Amino acid sequence: MFKKVERVVCVGAGYVGGPTCAMIAHKCPGITVTVVDMNAAKIDEWNSDKLPIFEHGLDEIVFAARGKNLFFSSDIPKAIREADLIFISVNTPTKTYGRGKGMAPDLKYVESVARTIAQYAGGPKIVVEKSTVPVKAAESIGCILRDAQKNCPELKFQVLSNPEFLAEGTAMRDLANPDRVLIGGESSPEGALAVEALVTVYENWVPRERIITTNTWSSELSKLVANAFLAQRISSINAISAVCEATGADVSEVAHAVGCDTRIGNKFLKASVGFGGSCFQKDVLSLVYLCESLNLQKVADYWHGVIEINDWQRRRFADKIIAELFNTVTDKKIAVFGFAFKKDTGDTRESSAIHVSKHLMEEHARLAIYDPKVPKSQVLYELGLQTSPADVEKLVTVYNDPYEAAKDAHAIVVLTEWDEFTTFDFSRIHASMRHPAAIFDGRLILDQKALREIGFRTFAIGSAPDQAYNLFGTSGY
């Protein structure tokens, strides 16, 4: 029933759908790939010279394949009709209303795509969940598709789970050389054929031993668990960063010493002002909600601790800034360096910068925000959602020049680990600031000693105040 895959469609032209399909088109010249989206403006951008998202290496691949075997279109019915295999790669944000509000993922977009496929398929299709979904979501998609089969016997569907593990900022590298590709499917002969059809697509560039096949529910759950484990490592080291600050241990040294144990490993142990991004919080909350729904409250509480520590770390950092600026930031200009949730992306979803900025705005600080990739409109939009447009208007200015942002500021707060921040002329910056001038490094990227020699008061996550300089007390938190 499922022949060799020649036409792939991806519904959802976002951070996952765009780069993933660009990579498939690049690696599989024999496959025609069409990416569709209900947002026509976004499709226009994908068809333009300025793509809607920034990832190293993405432009080159898209510009080379576009119009040959890679297409971006708003004609969803046509694309679905012509496809052999359809990726569902739409957003699954945390619900903001109703049952499961603030915890469960909103599956309305996934369901809507399933219904559209049911309506326009016209023949056999392999439907692949690429979106991150709770366990058993494939069952709901299958149910909608099976219902359509009742009136149209030529329709045949197999639903697979194929979660995506790319990280933003390194998406093209991750896609070109994944640690693993995970495919879950039914154990029936038809299911096995569908799994094999998708394996064949990935085999164009991923070694077979790195393609893992499992049952559908293992695949869906593994995605949530992978993100929960990664987020847990960050919360673990961030919890330890507080112990370091109180004791004179240094969190980078501790992370290095601990991470050298090959059983633990050295990745995802960088202390920070808290993890951000569209995935970690959403997916850990989704796991917590799942556990609660299964009456596994102890397990739910355990994973919820990861989120609690993350919120606490953001708050703790903001409180430290306020305490060290003599317990008041009212009307003080504070330069914020970095607004994206991590370097090498313009994405601000759930960025810790939003939360730290919000806490400082509640204390009436005047924020001067600089980020090399995040547009002004996006900064104002994100902060407007958290506070009020009037407060944003009054308290926030977005700068294109970091030196202007720092001029006359009482402090600089580093919230994203952009490489360029380490290249700034901090002597020049110090000279232009109000004194005593302070730097709060929430990403551990700056040379504290060099900054102190220039004359800055410094604070870095996870390191105790330098006793030789004795610039900060231990008060405040």
What are the catalytic residues?
279
Decide whether 157 or 341 has the Cβ nearer to ligand UPG: 341
Decide whether 279 or 288 has the Cβ nearer to ligand NAD: 279
DSSP state at residue 250: B
Q: CA-to-CA distance for 269 and 238, rounded, in angstroms? A: 9
Residue of this chain nearest to ligand NAD (CB atom):
14
Decide whether 102 or 436 has the Cβ nearer to ligand NAD: 102
By CB under 6 A, tell whether 132 contacts ligand NAD: yes
Site of interaction with ligand UPG (CB under 6 A): 132, 164-168, 227, 230, 234, 268-270, 272, 275-277, 279-280, 283, 341-342
| Single residue of 5, 8, 10, 16 touching ligand NAD by CB under 6 A | 16
Q: Which residue in 169, 362, 186, 377 sits closest to 277, CA to CA?
A: 169
When CB distances are held under 5 to 8 angstroms depending on the partner's kind, the choice from ligand NAD, ligand UPG, none that residue 341 binds is ligand UPG
| Single residue of 7, 38, 259, 466 touching ligand NAD by CB under 6 A | 38
By CB under 6 A, tell whether 406 contacts ligand NAD: no
Q: Which residue in 186, 210, 226 sits closest to 2, CA to CA?
A: 186
Q: CA-to-CA distance for 18 and 10, rounded, in angstroms? A: 8
Decide whether 155 or 279 has the Cβ nearer to ligand UPG: 279
| Single residue of 279, 307, 414, 415 touching ligand NAD by CB under 6 A | 279
Smallest gap from Cβ 17 to ligand NAD, in A, equals: 6
Q: Which residue in 287, 315, 282 sits closest to 302, CA to CA?
A: 287
Q: CA-to-CA distance for 179 and 319, rounded, in angstroms? A: 39
Element (H, E) at 370: strand 366-370
How many residues make contact with ligand NAD (CB under 6 A)? 25
By CB under 6 A, tell whether 144 contacts ligand NAD: no
By CB under 6 A, tell whether 233 contacts ligand NAD: no
Show the DSSP H helices in 260-331 as ranges: 280-293, 297-324
Question: Annotated binding site, which residues?
Answer: 12-17, 37, 42, 90-94, 131-132, 164-168, 223-227, 263, 270-276, 279-282, 341-342, 349, 443
Smallest gap from Cβ 164 to ligand UPG, in A, equals: 6
Give just the sign of the alpha carbon dihedral 406, 410, 415, 418.
positive
* Diameter over CA atoms, the chain: 80
CA dihedral 58, 61, 63, 64 (to 10 degrees): 170
Residues in the chain: 477
Show the DSSP H helices in 48-170 as ranges: 58-65, 76-82, 108-120, 137-151
Question: Cis before residue 436, ω within 30 degrees of 0?
Answer: yes
Question: Annotated binding site for substrate, which residues?
Answer: 164-168, 223-227, 263, 270-276, 341-342, 443
By CB under 6 A, tell whether 142 contacts ligand NAD: no
Smallest gap from Cβ 280 to ligand UPG, in A, equals: 6
Contact between 219 and 163 under an 8 Å Cβ cutoff? The reply is yes
Residues that bind ligand NAD (CB under 6 A): 11-17, 37-39, 42, 89-92, 109, 112-113, 131-132, 164, 166, 168, 278-279
